[in-house]
Amino acid sequence: MDFAELVKTARTIRRFDESKPLIERDMMALVDMVRLVPCGANAQTLRYKIILDKSERGRLFPNLAWAGALKDWDGPAEGERPTGYIIILSEKNMGLDTGIAAQTIQLAAADMGIGTCMMGAIQRDKIKEVFSIPENMQVHLVLALGRPVETVVIEPMPESGAFSYWRSEDGVHHVPKRALEDILL
């Protein structure tokens, strides 16, 4: 896949095939890659917690909020839930570093046929409690991962400017993106 195609492919995925679980080698490869990304002062303060075990996945899931714009959907049903997670943490709030790391993982995952949903609408305190994360660490982002079972299509931005994504009756997820001329100043 060339890079432009990879960027197009690396859409947010929220439904996964639980019968094709991720394996530790995939997750380690993703975190190993993210070791090399740029970060402020090269301080490398981010830490990554990999969650693969089924019961641990089950304890993380209730602390995530899925697709706020899909009002009548409570998130993936059993059988379509993520089969792995990477939690991004650090001692300080490293917003920019987190974004660079998360997008690198999402692109690398897409290249491996793995779908990702970055999740910021999460119950950080509960997640810390459930996984006994040290008091001095902050939970920044959860990346939900798995083998995709949903189709996502990029759409032109409607004239109304409404940027919410939507799902059509056939289950396809549609995500509007602004045109090039609309983002250039």
Residues that bind ligand FMN (CB under 6 A): 11-12, 14, 65-67, 117-121, 152, 165, 175
Rounded least distance, CB 145 to ligand FMN, Å: 13
Rounded least distance, CB 89 to ligand FMN, Å: 15
Rounded least distance, CB 67 to ligand FMN, Å: 4
Residues 6+ apart with CB under 8 A from 181: none
Considering beta carbons, is residue 117 or 133 the nearer one to ligand FMN?
Answer: 117
Considering beta carbons, is residue 100 or 118 the nearer one to ligand FMN?
Answer: 118
Considering beta carbons, is residue 52 or 118 the nearer one to ligand FMN?
Answer: 118
Strand partners for 176: 155
Rounded least distance, CB 12 to ligand FMN, Å: 3
